[in-house]
Amino acid sequence: MDIERLLHNVESPETLNLSGRNLQGIDLTRLNLAGVNLSRADLSWAILNEANFSGANLSEANLYQAFLSGANLSKVNLSRADLSEATLNEANLSEAILSEANLSGADIGVVSLFGAHLGGANLRGASLFRADLSRTNLFGADLSRVNLKEANLREADLNGANLTEADVSGAEISKYVKRQLRNKGVVGLDATEG
């Protein structure tokens, strides 16, 4: 039985250990993979739209150019994962761990990153249009040239983050966050709400 068929028929995904597996280009659309171990797995170019990965371990996984639109990635461990140029529109990444993850060039628009940990993550050039980054830890993250237009940045921790040329036009920003953004080279700070 091939791996794709196995995953479509699994009843208890949390018992699966697919760590280090080559799953390039696999289609797991709408599957329930909550709690599965996919650490160090190669999921580049995979189609994972609307899949449920809540609580899964995807640390150090390769998700280069993967399609994760509408996926449930809440409380997922994506530390040191490669999500560069991935599509994550309308995904739920609330409380996810993305420490030191590579999200450069990713399309992360209209997502929930509420309470997520992105300390040291590389988001250079990513689009976070209308993303919910409230209570998100972005300490030391690279947010240079990131589209943060209309994003919710209330109570976000941006200490030590690189925000050079990041566009925050129309973003919801508290006075505290606005102070963090002063002298950081951001674009559109005068056109923010808050």
- Asked whether residue 184 carries a pLDDT value surpassing 60, the answer given is yes
Q: Mean of the per-residue pLDDT values for the chain?
A: 93
Model confidence at 27: pLDDT above 50:
yes
pTM above 0.95, yes or no: no
Q: Strand, helix or coil at 129? A: coil
Q: Which two tokens stand for residue 30?
A: 């709408």
- Give percent of the chain with pLDDT exceeding 70: 97
* Burial of residue 158 (number of CB atoms within 10 Å: 0-12, 13-18, 19+): buried
Higher pLDDT, 75 or 192: 75
- For residues 1-19, average pLDDT: 79
Residue 43, pLDDT above cutoff 80: yes
Q: For residue 59, what pLDDT is reported?
A: 98
- How many beta carbons lie within 10 A of that of residue 129, not counting itself? 20
On whether the CB atoms of residues 38 and 18 are closer than 8 A, the answer is yes
pLDDT at 31 over 90: yes
